[in-house]
Homo-oligomer: A and B are copies of this chain.
Amino acid sequence: MLGVCYYPEHWPESWWARDAAEMAALGIRYVRIGEFAWSRIEPESGHFEWEWLDRAIETLGAAGLKVVLGTPTATPPKWLIDLYPEILPHAENGAARGFGSRRHYTFSSAVWYRESARIVTAMAERYGESPHVAGWQTDNEYGCHDTVLSWGPEDLTAFKGWLRRRYQTPEALNEAWGNVFWSMELASFDEVELPVRTVTETAPAARLDYWRFASEQVVRYNEMQVGILRRLSPGRFITHNYMGFFHDFDHHAVSETLDFASWDSYPLGFLEKFPFSEQERTRFTRTSHPDVPTFHHDLYRGMAGNRFWVMEQQPGPVNWAPWNAVPAPGMVRLWAWEAFAHGAEVVSYFRWRQAPFGQEQMHAGLNRPDRVRSPGGEEAAQVGAELKAFGALPENRPSPVALVFDYEASWITRIQPQGKDYRHEEICFRWYEAVRRLGLDVDIVRPGADLSGYSLVLLPSLPHVGEAMLETLKTTEAVILIGPRAGSKTRNYAFPDNLAPGPLAELIPIKVIEVASMRPALHAVGGEVSGHAARWREWLETDLPALASFEDGGAAVVATDRVIYCATWAEGDLLSEILTTIALPKAGLVPVDIPDTIRIRRRGDLTFAFNYGTEAWTIPDAAAKRFLLGGATIAPQDLACWEG
């Protein structure tokens, strides 16, 4: 189904009814509203103005639309900040980050926690049982604009409390952080400082704890909102709209109390933000890289309940990337169908109409500022019509491949990358891309998730392997492909006693005795599989034979019957050979032969195919297929769907 994000407070009330009617006509079912409207709901402390919002909800409901209400905590109003300036977050340099945009709060502020509860309660009391309200979105894009980690006095106070609860004694803290290293030992928790603004690097264990603390605060804050909504709005779903490629807090942990996760999909903007090569950025300027949206679909589907929404879908050019292209014709439609193919329940476009004012005035909508449907709006209307003809989509089924994605791993490798181009998000994405290029579906799962039923499990880079993770690896029957740095750190950011891969040595008999980060260059490796390696190399102590070796004879890939270890950052060619020659045969999986700009995806008993390239693609054996969308030949930026 389709949805849309709408801001009644941005438009004359006289426009609302026509807007609602046009939404319904376009095939829209859900309308998200309210998440930036605090100053209109409570224009001064304790004085609420509900009537306008009552009428807005009523108008939408009268048109047959369902409302998703956003709690407005991403935009605390000026009077609140003036009453309690301690709510403001602080930058790494120690300066307060002021009022004037959004997300200007720290999760550490007790006052903010209380005030958030107050406004959420007020909204939930007013609308929790409204027949037009289908569900809730908590806040908006936690972490956007670097707002998870704050570096001010409130944060230090909260951090001290967190450490006290975690470690009980300063001795335990000193031990965990290795404070003896440079006479950093503390005699009491009062002596703790924020791990920032020092002469050189602070203890990595301290930084990891600060990140965990900050992430847990997001979890606790969201739980607070969820608790209120559950109590006052029974039967309505609760979700949060995560932002793509933001890994500063643990989305899995936040999602535990949600009904499902949703996310905000801006494929063209992400193309500029993710570390793609300039060649890739130029090639995919108007389509985005094919795996950018789907990586997130597969990630967020795995968060809660095997369901997800796209809460915000790019409908045209955005305003926030270094360059902002107009999507190639067809992409606004294609992205929606990719989402459905990957199991999305709802694709909700951001936004109904381009705002002619404010920070995001250069961000397109389904309608132009002059109330005419935009090019993206036309494509959305096509999706609306196709969906109506299509009928219900089948259930999501598990994929044959699981990729373990760990937020903590991102923090660990960012704290000490050791090589400046070692990026956790990048290695995870490239492994995902390699499997998708072979036509296989992937579930992205958290460490410790049940791995039974999978044929192949991928661990691109997992420095800390906890007990639950180890247990699932030991019990699954899947083939396991492990990337570099796995098991190289303990919970307290130290070397395991047995060196890397630490606990994974139970799965494969190797020991990492030396590691190098390598400056940009490709290094040939060869053997049973061959290709190129870069960035990272490990020297192994093992009796296993090398399946691929560096030119000096050092092993690059080794394997047991069921477990494969890659002791380097494998480039695409090597990764592809490891998969096709070693991993897939072991796992009993068969790759699909598709061009590199085609992607296929199965949902239930349907197969979807998408063309991100510049040339038409003809599906093999098309005559035997029953097409529900498209046909034997898929034009650029078009798609097809068939049974089976």
Given A497-B370, A498-B370, A514-B316, is A78 in contact with B191 using a C-beta cutoff of 8 Å? yes
Using Cβ atoms and an 8 Å threshold, which residues of chain B touch A117?
Answer: none
Contact in complex: B198, A375 (CB < 8 Å): no
Query: Could you tell me the distance between the alpha carbons of A205 and B369 in the complex, rounded to whole angstroms?
Result: 17
Instruction: Judge whether A145 and B199 touch: CB under 8 Å.
Output: yes
Kindly list chain B residues whose C-beta atoms are within 8 Å of the C-beta of A232.
none
Chain B residues, Cβ within 8 Å of A183: 36-40, 72, 75-77, 102
Are A77 and B285 neighbours in the complex by a CB distance under 8 Å? no
Residues from chain B with Cβ under 8 Å of A317 in the complex = 514-517
Please encode chain A, from 513 to 547, with 1 for each CB lying within 8 Å of some chain B CB and 0 for all others: 11111110100000000000000010100000000
Chain B proximity of A359: nearest CB distance (Å): 5
Asked if B204 contacts A100 (CB within 8 A), the reply is: no
Bound Cα distance from A78 to B170, whole angstroms: 13
What is the CA–CA distance of A418 and B272 in the complex, to the nearest angstrom?
13
Pairwise interchain contact B357-A98, C-beta atoms closer than 8 A: no
* Interface 1/0 per residue, A193-217 and B, CB below 8 Å: 1011111111111100000000000
Q: A588 within 8 Å of B by Cβ?
A: no
Q: What's the minimum C-beta distance from A76 to chain B, rounded to whole angstroms?
A: 8
**In the bound complex, how far is the Cα of B369 from the Cα of A497, in angstroms?**
8
A362 on the interface (CB 8 Å rule)?
yes
Contacts of A178 in B (CB 8 A): 355, 357-358, 361
Q: What distance in Å separates the Cβ of A321 from its nearest Cβ neighbour in chain B? A: 9
Are A517 and B323 closer than 8 Å at their CB atoms? yes
| Residue interface mask A496-522, B partner, CB < 8 A = 1 | 011100000000000001111111010
- Let me know if A391 is at the binding interface, CB within 8 A: no
> CA–CA, A195 to B359, complex, Å?
12
Are B185 and A495 interface neighbours, CB within 8 A?
A: no
Q: Mark A36-51, 1 if CB is under 8 A from B, else 0.
A: 1111100110000000
Contact of A78 among B187, B197, B272, B493 (CB under 8 A): B187
Residues of chain B with a CB closer than 8 A to A195's CB: 100
A199 touching B420 by the CB < 8 A rule? no
Residue of B nearest to A94 (CB): B95
Inter-chain CA distance A375–B95, complex, in Å, is 47
Is B323 touching A206 in the complex (CB atoms < 8 A)?
Answer: no
Given contacts A183-B77, A357-B492, A514-B317, contact A323 B519 (CB under 8 A): yes
- Is A586 close to B, CB under 8 A? no
Beta-carbon nearest neighbor of A174 in chain B: B39
Contact between A201 and B77, CB atoms less than 8 A apart: no
A495 cross-chain contacts in B, Cβ below 8 A: 354, 356-357, 361, 369
B362 x A416 contact (CB < 8 A): yes
**Do A98 and B193 contact each other (CB < 8 Å), given the known contacts A10-B180, A103-B199, A199-B147?**
yes
With A198-B97, A420-B322 as given contacts, are A82 and B514 in contact (CB-CB < 8 Å)? no
Given contacts A40-B183, A75-B182, A77-B185, contact A99 B198 (CB under 8 A): yes
Contact B198 A369 (CB under 8 A): no
Q: Are B514 and A198 in contact (CB under 8 A)?
A: no
A326 touches B184 (CB 8 A): no
The yes or no answer to A360 lying at the interface (CB within 8 A) is yes
| Cβ-neighbour of A205 out of B184, B206, B357 (below 8 A) | B357
* Contacts known (A101-B199, A199-B97); A499 close to B370, Cβ less than 8 A: yes
Q: Which residues of A (381-429) have their CB < 8 Å from a CB of B? A: 416, 418-420
Smallest distance from the beta carbon of A521 to chain B beta carbons, Å?
Answer: 6
- Are the CB atoms of B37 and A359 closer together than 8 Å? no
* Contact indicator A43/B187 (Cβ below 8 Å): yes
Q: Chain B residues near A184: list those with CB within 8 A.
A: 39, 75, 78, 99-101
Cβ contacts A345-384/B at 8 Å (1 or 0 each): 0000000001111111110100011101011000000000
* A168 interfacial contact with B, CB 8 Å: no
How would residues 269 to 287 of chain A score, 1 for a CB under 8 Å from any chain B CB and 0 otherwise?
A: 0001000000001100100
The reply to whether B43 and A97 form a contact with Cβ atoms under 8 Å apart is no
Residues on B with C-beta less than 8 A from A198 are 97-101, 104
A5-41 vs B, Cβ < 8 Å mask (1 yes, 0 no): 0000110000000000000000000000000111110
Alpha-carbon distance A521/B278, docked complex (angstroms)? 11
Whole-angstrom CA separation of A182 from B177 in the bound complex:
41
Query: Is A634 at the interface (CB under 8 A from chain B)?
Result: no
- Our pick among B193, B419, B513, B517 for the contact of A100 (Cβ within 8 Å) is B193
- A513→B375 contact, CB < 8 A: yes
- What's the least CB distance linking A352 to chain B, in Å? 15
Interface hits, A58-81 → B, CB 8 Å: 72, 74-79
On chain B, the residues within 8 Å of A201 by CB distance are 101, 359
Decide if A253 is an interface residue (CB 8 Å cutoff): no
Q: A204 near B359 (CB under 8 angstroms)?
A: yes
CB distance B145 to A200 under 8 Å? Answer: yes
Q: Which 8 A-B pairs have the closest CB atoms?
A: A181-B358, A178-B357, A356-B495, A39-B183, A75-B183, A178-B358, A100-B198, A326-B516
Additional A-B contacts beyond A36-B181, A37-B183 (9; CB < 8 A): A101-B199, A102-B183, A177-B357, A200-B359, A204-B359, A323-B519, A324-B418, A324-B516, A375-B514
- Supply 18 A–B pairs (Cβ within 8 Å), ascending by A: A37-B183, A75-B183, A77-B183, A77-B185, A78-B184, A93-B93, A95-B197, A98-B193, A100-B193, A100-B206, A103-B200, A319-B416, A323-B420, A356-B495, A362-B515, A369-B495, A372-B513, A375-B513
Residues of A within 8 A of B (CB): 9-10, 36-40, 43-44, 72, 74-79, 82, 89, 93-104, 144-145, 147, 177-187, 191, 193, 195-206, 272, 281-282, 285, 316-317, 319, 322-326, 354-362, 364, 368-370, 372, 374-375, 416, 418-420, 492-495, 497-499, 513-519, 521, 537, 539
